[in-house]
Chain A
Amino acid sequence: MSVLQALDVGLAFLVFAVAAWTVFAPGPFAATVGYVVYGLLLSLVWIRLFAVDVALTEAAIGSGVTGVLLIGAAARLRGAETTPAEEALTGLTRLFAAGLCLLVAAALAAVVLLLPDQGPTLAPQSMERLPETGLGNPVTAVLIAFRSFDTMLEKVVLVLGVVGVWSLAADRYWGGAPGEARAERPEPTLAFFAQVLAPIGILVGVHVFWVGADEPGGAFQGGAILAAMWMIVMMARLTEAPQASAFWLRLALIAGPAVFLAAGVAGAVVAGGFFAYPPGLAKPLILFIETFMTFTIAVTLPMLVAGPPRREPRR
């Protein structure tokens, strides 16, 4: 067994063990912290699958932003998550459930083992048409050019998510700001951390977005890093979340999908197909769309984490 293989086996056991911890941990807080670790380990597995773009997304969104969301929820639910005895399943039901889940996992494992060594693939087609997009990263090309409709709709899902979260606000808070107010005196350690990290993080986020055209990275990963920086500054209470009724915020939330859709419709007129890009102009157009998408992601993710408005709107 080579070193890499041993690492693979070790990583596999570690991922499984941490995942088991998030399911069986005694408290919800311990479970959510386990989930953050799990996400980071999972991104290592993605690197071993040669999917660096996915690894970056998993680390930034799957582990990072989701982790903040879940830890925040666990903290607010403290005390509420004690399970009354009548809600716990009986031993027999648990055993039955475990058997069922084992069956599902075994069936999936069998499918994995039965997969042919060389499966069907769209890689040759992607590489063949890659020069027409002017991009060097085939994953970005799939996201923004070959399957751009998916990506545009996914942005719409994010907007719908924000609409759904905001709709859960109490009537009197409608249009107000989520989260806590800006602090008179921010907690010094956290404020220092935010002041040092945020400028570097913003630079890293923009860089990851920019190199995404040719190297692993792109709008999702860069946008998620930018989102994290805004969240850190809000957590340090150096600034507060904007009011849900703010016009600029609503404009920022829809800028990405709106520009994307406009480019798609323009393609139908100019380039002879919905979401077609005119030859030669593909790369600048893609970067233009991606800029707005990065911005929208950077604004949307913190709004989803911040939750529904919890303060009365200022008029």
Chain B
Amino acid sequence: MSSATLAGLVGAALVGLGLYGVIADPQPLRKILAFNLIGSGVFLVFGIVARKGAAAGLSADPVPQAMVITGIVVAFAASALAVALTLRLFEETGRATLRPDAGTKPPDDGADAE
């Protein structure tokens, strides 16, 4: 088995693992982590598409590589926004949970109350 195929299989396993984390773990931060695992798994699978496109003296097709680089940066921006939302939720409610019926504590400063 070539190293590219092996990397692709790792990517497939990472997607499965991350998906399980997103479904099974109720904590928002752990869900963000797991979602990043899914993302990097998808990038790896795309990476072997790049490797299998080796031609014209290049070891890998540059177009998928460039798209993965763009993807990594966008995934980071999305994670940063998700983390900021989680922290704000924690500040507002004193809990970091996605349950819609979780009790809210009154805001600690009057200026925020709408």
Q: Do A and B bind each other?
A: yes
Chain A residues within 8 Å of B, Cβ to Cβ: 4-5, 8-9, 12, 15-16, 19-20, 22-23, 28, 31-32, 35, 38-39, 42, 45-46, 48-51, 53-54, 57-58, 61-62, 65-66, 69-70, 73-74, 76-77, 80-81, 83-84, 87-89, 94, 97-98, 100-102, 104-106, 108-109, 111-113, 115-124, 126-128, 138-139, 141-143, 146-147, 150-151, 154, 157-158, 160-161, 164-165, 168, 170-172, 220, 297, 301, 304-305, 307-308
The answer to whether A45 and B44 have CB atoms under 8 Å apart is yes
Residues of A within 8 A of B68 (CB): 51, 54, 57
Residues of B within 8 A of A38 (CB): 37
With A22-B33, A51-B65 as known contacts, state yes or no: A105 contacts B76, CB within 8 Å. no
A-B contact pairs, 10 of them (CB 8 A): A28-B27, A45-B7, A51-B51, A73-B86, A94-B24, A111-B45, A115-B8, A127-B57, A142-B63, A147-B63
| New contact pairs (7) apart from A108-B12, A307-B87, CB-CB < 8 Å | A49-B50, A51-B47, A57-B68, A98-B20, A112-B45, A160-B77, A307-B80
Interface residues of B in 19-36 (CB under 8 A from A): 19-21, 23-27, 29-30, 32-34, 36
Residues of B within 8 A of A50 (CB): 51, 54, 59-60
Question: Which among B8, B15, B65, B78 has the highest number of chain A CB atoms within 10 Å?
Answer: B65
With A51-B65, A157-B77 as known contacts, state yes or no: A172 contacts B52, CB within 8 Å. no
* B: contact size bracket: 35 or more
**Interface of A (DSSP majority class):** helix
A-facing mask of B49-78, CB < 8 A → 1, else 0? Answer: 111111111111111011111101111111
Residues of B within 8 A of A42 (CB): 40, 44
Residues of A within 8 A of B69 (CB): 53-54, 57, 139, 143, 220
With A62-B40, A172-B111 as known contacts, state yes or no: A54 contacts B24, CB within 8 Å. no
The answer to whether A70 and B53 have CB atoms under 8 Å apart is no
Task: Say which residue of A49, A138, A170 sits within 8 Å of B3 (CB atoms).
Answer: A49
Residues of B within 8 A of A84 (CB): 97
With A20-B17, A104-B16, A118-B52 as known contacts, state yes or no: A308 contacts B84, CB within 8 Å. yes
Residues of B within 8 A of A8 (CB): 3, 6-7
Residues of A within 8 A of B60 (CB): 49-51, 123
With A35-B33, A76-B87, A121-B54 as known contacts, state yes or no: A170 contacts B76, CB within 8 Å. no
Q: How far is the CA of A87 from the CA of B25 in the complex (A)?
A: 9
With A139-B65, A164-B84 as known contacts, state yes or no: A112 contacts B52, CB within 8 Å. no
Residues of A within 8 A of B18 (CB): 19, 23
The answer to whether B52 and A119 have CB atoms under 8 Å apart is yes
Residues of A within 8 A of B91 (CB): 170
B99 at interface (Cβ–Cβ under 8 A)?
yes
Q: Sorted from nearest, which 5 A-B pairs have the closest CB atoms?
A: A105-B16, A121-B53, A50-B59, A112-B8, A161-B77
With A4-B3, A89-B24 as known contacts, state yes or no: A168 contacts B52, CB within 8 Å. no
The answer to whether A139 and B62 have CB atoms under 8 Å apart is yes
The smallest C-beta distance from A167 to any residue of chain B, in angstroms, reads 9
The answer to whether B52 and A23 have CB atoms under 8 Å apart is no
Task: Say which residue of A61, A98, A138, A165 sits within 8 Å of B62 (CB atoms).
Answer: A138
Residues of B within 8 A of A126 (CB): 56, 58, 61-63
